[in-house]
Amino acid sequence: MSHLETAARPDYLCRIAIDPLSRVEGHGKVTLLTDKDHRIRQARLHIVEFRGFEKFIQGRPYWEVPVVVERLCGICPVSHHLAAAKAVDQLVGARELTPTAEKIRRLMHYGQTLQSHAVHFFHLASPDFLFDFDDPAAHRNVGGVMTDYPDIARQGVRLRKYGQEVIRVTAGKRIHGTGAIPGGVNKALTLQERNYLLADLDLMIQWGRGILKLVKQAYQLNPGYFTYFATIRSNYLSLARADGALDLYHGGLRARNERGEILFDKLDYRRYSQVIREQVKPWSYMKFPFIHSLGSEQGWYRVGPLARINNCDFIPTPLAEEERREFMALGDGQPVHMTLAYHWARMIELLHATEAIKELLLDPDIFGEERVVRGEMAREGIGVIEAPRGTLFHHYRINEDGLIEKANLIVSTTNNNQAMNESIRQVAERYLDGKELTEPLLNQIEVAVRAYDPCLSCATHALGRMPLIVELVEEGSGAVVNSLARDVDGTVRNEMGLPPEGASSV
């Protein structure tokens, strides 16, 4: 854990808060404590997480949960839908789903992965990639990508749409569908639906490969930047199939340490609480999970695309596997720790999702009649899935009448909480230490956070548009002596009536 988590004498330091203006949903805020020489002494990312859900769901019928949880998050509702459905399968005693049910659910999940990764890359991350930091803010956004790379922007929109169509066909609706039900699914595919989805798929696979080419070019142009920017060495956690393959829908828990050595593997995820603990810190609403055996200082880990690609032994589809090998060569036998490599790993998964969708669409099981299995009811169910942003845990206990008694969720962004903090500390130390605060430097913090694709409303604003407020607070009195705000439309205002350049004096 970085020494920048807690400063020794915070009262002697100057506080800079980077705070989003919109407080409607989950949001992030960065506080930096600097000393008189503008040296960073403490850096923290505070995320307000909506924890009311576990309470809200109490007393509701268990079979409702997979649909109700979709309301948790507008960004990846399908992941919550499926993680909850997997937990509910255990409640209804469905030990093994029918091949039809499992494959339809997988199809839905890969559709979601494709659409989520496409949105993130094209709308949010591609400007970080395709343009330099000194590129003017007005151009360094998705609009700039559309002007300079119109084909890429178009492909992004189509890939996203394709993913949404896969969700619609399997879940009934693009958002808030009902496909997964206790013990299975409520519909299979028709031949017509299959042919409809198959029609554009080869093009999607081709585009997936094209994007990876672009990502690799960006890396080759500036390997130093990729290698060091916000990079931290960490443990990695994900699901993996029993044979070590990448599997986004199901598997055992696998963790590696920073040298790539296996910490645990093939662990039944229903035993997650034996290996994962959550720490509460007084300055953050979001908990900090860690690997129990390593302790909270050493045991924090990363989840998501980078963790999954580092963790698996192979990808079970050929094109993505080829890309994985090339990617892993960067680590020279160890995990790839570059934080910006999240984007690269994410695009390998996007390609894998397109290939996996094709395999599933060509599988006759997706037309099957046997959609639901049930067994003896149980009181406890735990569902884990690899959501686009990382490992997602849903844990429920019901009473004898079938109403939810207790729920516990660990969402992907929470799993990455400590890692995101470590990355912004690295950026703060490397780029802000000893320098004056400027808008481009704030952008770098934003780029570091965004690599993780956290599920925050502020992080979903395009680069240069994340609504921020920076406050300079006087030592001792706590009075705000300067304040710089950036609105959602990108305009920079000085709240104290000073010209925007006032930022550089902060």
Partner 1 sequence: MSAEQCFTLDGRRVPFQDGQTLMAAALDAGVYIPHLCFNPEFAPHGSCRVCLVQVNGRVQAACTTPAAAGLTVQSEIEELREMRRGILQMLFVEGNHVCPACEKSGACQLQAVAYYVGMQTPHYKHFYPRRPVDASHPEAVIDFNRCILCELCVRASRDVDGKNVFAVQGRGIQARLVVNTPSGQLGATPFSIHDKAAQVCPTGTILTKHRGYETPIGQRLYDRKPISVVGDVAQLPESRGGRRHD
Q: Which stretch binds partner 1 (CB under 8 A): 20-28, 66-74, 232-240, 247-255?
A: 66-74
DSSP sequence for 431-476: IITTS---HHHHHHHHHHHHHT----TGGGSPTT-S-EEEEEE-TT
**Tokens describing residue 304:** 């998501």
CB nearer to partner 1: give 80 or 343. 80
* 74 forms part of the interface with partner 1 (CB under 8 A): no
Strand partners of residue 240: 252
Question: Minimal distance in Å, beta carbon 159 to partner 1?
Answer: 24
What is the torsion angle, in degrees rounded to the nearest 10, for the CA atoms of residue 116, residue 120, residue 123 and residue 129?
Answer: -150
Strands (E) across 257-379 are located at 262-267, 276-279, 288-291, 301-302
Q: Which ranges constitute the DSSP H helices of 2-139? A: 53-56, 65-68, 77-91, 99-119, 126-130
* 48 forms part of the interface with partner 1 (CB under 8 A): no
* 28 forms part of the interface with partner 1 (CB under 8 A): no
Calpha distance 240→251 (Å, rounded): 5
* Residues from 387 through 446 that contact partner 1 (CB under 8 A): 401-403
Q: Given candidates 171, 211, 392, 466, which one binds partner 1 under the rule CB under 8 A?
A: 171
Q: Given candidates 3, 10, 23, 61, which one binds partner 1 under the rule CB under 8 A?
A: 61
What is the torsion angle, in degrees rounded to the nearest 10, for the CA atoms of residue 312, residue 317, residue 319 and residue 324?
Answer: 0
Q: Given candidates 158, 176, 266, 379, which one binds partner 1 under the rule CB under 8 A?
A: 176
* 351 forms part of the interface with partner 1 (CB under 8 A): no
Q: Given candidates 5, 38, 63, 322, which one binds partner 1 under the rule CB under 8 A?
A: 63
Q: Which stretch binds partner 1 (CB under 8 A): 178-186, 283-291, 464-472, 493-501?
A: 178-186
Q: Which stretch binds partner 1 (CB under 8 A): 6-14, 62-70, 283-291, 338-346?
A: 62-70
Per-position x/- string for 90-109, each x denoting binding to partner 1 as judged by CB under 8 A, each - no binding: --x-----------------
Question: Minimal distance in Å, beta carbon 171 to partner 1?
Answer: 8
Question: Minimal distance in Å, beta carbon 453 to partner 1?
Answer: 25
Using CA atoms, how far residue 481 sits from 21, 478, 506, in Å, is: 19, 9, 9
**Tokens describing residue 322:** 């080829």
Calpha distance 247→343 (Å, rounded): 19
Calpha distance 269→253 (Å, rounded): 6
Render the burial of 3-17: b for 16+ CB within 10 Å, e for the rest.
ebeebeeeeebbbbb
Question: Minimal distance in Å, beta carbon 119 to partner 1?
Answer: 21
* 208 forms part of the interface with partner 1 (CB under 8 A): no
* 64 forms part of the interface with partner 1 (CB under 8 A): yes
Question: Minimal distance in Å, beta carbon 70 to partner 1?
Answer: 8
* 179 forms part of the interface with partner 1 (CB under 8 A): yes
Q: Given candidates 71, 259, 292, 435, which one binds partner 1 under the rule CB under 8 A?
A: 71
Count of residues near partner 1 by CB under 8 A: 25
Show Cβ contacts of residue 155 under 8 Å, excluding neighbours closer than 6 positions: 122, 207, 210, 211
For residue 41, which of 6, 16, 76 has the smallest C-alpha distance?
6
Chain residues binding partner 1 by CB under 8 A are 59-61, 63-64, 66-68, 70-71, 92, 171-173, 176-179, 181-182, 186-187, 401-403
